[in-house]
A and B are shown apart, each in its own frame.
Chain A
């Protein structure tokens, strides 16, 4: 039982990081209709910003805030600037542009920081006893913070001016402009929030993963699975599937080899895609 609880908590931590990255992906797909392959790059940058902050004698949490702000603003603007000229071109071209950005980010990180893993200690060292296991409190903080960020985000989307406008633009761009909604401003905001969410995930997770140039690759793959399974553009669905996937993988790995669980998840996603392509079922609603 204790093993299952600990594995479940580990799954929630993985799910939390996935949920943040996937929520950003889903937001961008909803508003602009693109899948951003550079999201993992922003996850990686988030970790490096925290490492830089600590390396310069600053506080861990200041590093997290700096990562969210700097990568959010800078990353959002760079991504939009790259995508804008090819926005009306075939989707594959847009996808390639984000892939190119992802590769550039990885290479730059490798050049500036080296290929080694930068280890960063958790800002909280307290541990919670679960049976014979002492579970790190910081891991639970990650889950709590992620839940709070996602809940706050959903509330903003539901009630705040720009939240309502983001949803309006996502559903009908032309109608939104007819109502006086500043479409470009909404795009810029969506790109920044999306990038910021990835950086937040990367910065919160960096004590667990360390910072290295390709740290975002695995997260990106899993985040894409989550976004597809949750329903493209569906933030709530993506968040729910992220936590579910994290827990299923972690708990499932107690009895079955991790690779087999991952394979099972891939099969499930393929089945989901087949079902969705037939347009008969909506598995997760917005």
Chain B
């Protein structure tokens, strides 16, 4: 589904991502973990075409994305939920979701909306509320709902559980897991051990701009050092 070969990203003179290579298979959920500032978010943003200074190869469904603009990547089946500024604050909850579903054919729009409301019922209750008035956790839910509503084939999610109360984090983890069990491929950046254990089968570890390790979930469960270094034990 997604293959990245020797990806380098620059912000001005700063060489943030230094030769990342990774792969996500069809229907697979993969985690990307590491300390703050090692280039995880930049990696996701460059996959989506949001970082100008990049070098290397990004293949999605065997197509080289290097000359494909961001909106066209989305239309090819790539979805991205950023960590910050992930909702349109002046639009209602439903308008936020509709902004994404409008790319789908007529009947698919309503179906998609109903599906995400069923997955995250709180949003159905708040459908007419401006997104900017939602709490941080609710905004995360809305961003996830909108990401799922556009029916991507591969969804990149940046820190879905960051700053959430345990109950909201669990809700989000379950919603992501249900989407994965319906065949959605995922690349998730997060530091919650619970969320990653619920959703992902495999993890990449990133340090100083490069991939330094790859682990199966079973290895991670037993690898206390790794968990203590890179992850929060509780969501």
Which residues of A pack against B, CB within 8 Å?
161, 164-165, 167-168, 171-172, 174-183, 286
Contact = CB atoms under 8 A, between A and B. Distances in A.
B91 A168 contact: yes
A179 B150 contact: yes
Contacts of A178: 48, 50, 70-71, 74, 79-80, 82
B150 A175 contact: no
Interface string B67-96: 001111011000110100111111100010
Contacts of A181: 71, 99
Contact of A172 (B74, B88, B103): B88
A75 to B, nearest CB: 26
A179 B146 contact: yes
Kindly name the residue among A165, A167, A175, A179 whose own CB sees the greatest number of chain B CB atoms within 10 A: A179
B26 interface: no
A110 B75 CA distance: 48
A156 B110 CA distance: 19
Contacts of B99: 164-165, 168, 176, 179, 181
Nearest to A180: B74
Contacts of A164: 91, 95, 98-99, 102
A180 B146 CA distance: 12
Say whether chain A's binding surface is mostly helix, strand, loop, or mixed: helix
24 contacts: A164-B91, A164-B102, A165-B102, A167-B88, A167-B91, A168-B88, A171-B88, A171-B89, A171-B90, A174-B70, A175-B82, A175-B86, A175-B88, A176-B71, A177-B50, A177-B70, A178-B79, A178-B80, A179-B74, A180-B71, A180-B74, A180-B100, A181-B71, A183-B71
A176 B82 CA distance: 12
Nearest to A233: B90
Contact of B71 (A161, A171, A172, A182): A182
B150 to A, nearest CB: 6
A286 B89 CA distance: 12
Given A168-B88, A178-B74, 15 more contacts: A161-B102, A165-B99, A167-B90, A167-B95, A171-B88, A172-B85, A175-B82, A175-B87, A177-B50, A177-B70, A178-B48, A178-B50, A179-B74, A179-B103, A180-B75
Contacts, number: 63
B79 to A, nearest CB: 8
Nearest to B75: A180
Question: What 8 pairs across the A-B complex have the smallest Cβ distances?
Answer: A180-B74, A177-B70, A171-B88, A168-B99, A180-B75, A179-B100, A161-B102, A177-B71
A170 B79 CA distance: 21
Contacts of A180: 71-72, 74-75, 100, 103, 150
A178 B48 CA distance: 7
A236 to B, nearest CB: 12
Contacts of A182: 71
Interface in B38-89: 48, 50, 69-72, 74-75, 79-80, 82, 85-89
Contacts of B48: 178
Contacts of B87: 175
Nearest to B73: A180
A203 to B, nearest CB: 32
B173 to A, nearest CB: 22
A117 B69 CA distance: 49
Kindly name the residue among A171, A176, A286 whose own CB sees the greatest number of chain B CB atoms within 10 A: A171
A122 to B, nearest CB: 40
Contacts of B88: 167-168, 171-172, 175
Contacts of A176: 71, 99
Contact of B91 (A161, A171, A174, A183): A171
A280 to B, nearest CB: 18
A207 B87 CA distance: 46
Interface string B122-139: 000000000000000000
